[in-house]
Chain A
Amino acid sequence: DAGVTQSPTHLIKTRGQQVTLRCSPISGHKSVSWYQQVLGQGPQFIFQYYEKEERGRGNFPDRFSARQFPNYSSELNVNALLLGDSALYLCASSFGLGDYEQYFGPGTRLTVT
Chain B
Amino acid sequence: QKEVEQNSGPLSVPEGAIASLNCTYSDRGSQSFFWYRQYSGKSPELIMFIYSNGDKEDGRFTAQLNKASQYVSLLIRDSQPSDSATYLCAVTATTDSWGKLQFGAGTQVVVTP
Contacts and interface: CB of A to CB of B under 8 A. Distances in A.
Interface of A: 31, 33, 35, 40-45, 48, 55-58, 88, 90, 92, 94, 97-107
B97 A88 contact: no
B100 interface: yes
Contacts of A102: 34, 46, 101
Contact of B102 (A40, A45, A90, A107): A45
Nearest to B89: A42
Interface string B72-95: 000000000000000010101000
B34 A101 contact: yes
B99 A42 contact: no
Contacts of A48: 97, 99-100
Contacts of B96: 56
Contacts of B97: 45, 48, 55-58
Interface residues of B, number: 26
B55 to A, nearest CB: 18
Given A98-B92, A107-B43, A56 B103 contact: no
Which A-B residue pairs are the 10 nearest by beta carbons?
A56-B97, A42-B103, A99-B32, A107-B43, A45-B100, A98-B99, A104-B43, A97-B99, A104-B44, A42-B105
Interface of B: 4, 31-32, 34, 36, 42-46, 49, 51, 88, 90, 92, 96-106
A57 B95 CA distance: 12
B36 to A, nearest CB: 8
Nearest to A48: B97
A41 B88 CA distance: 10
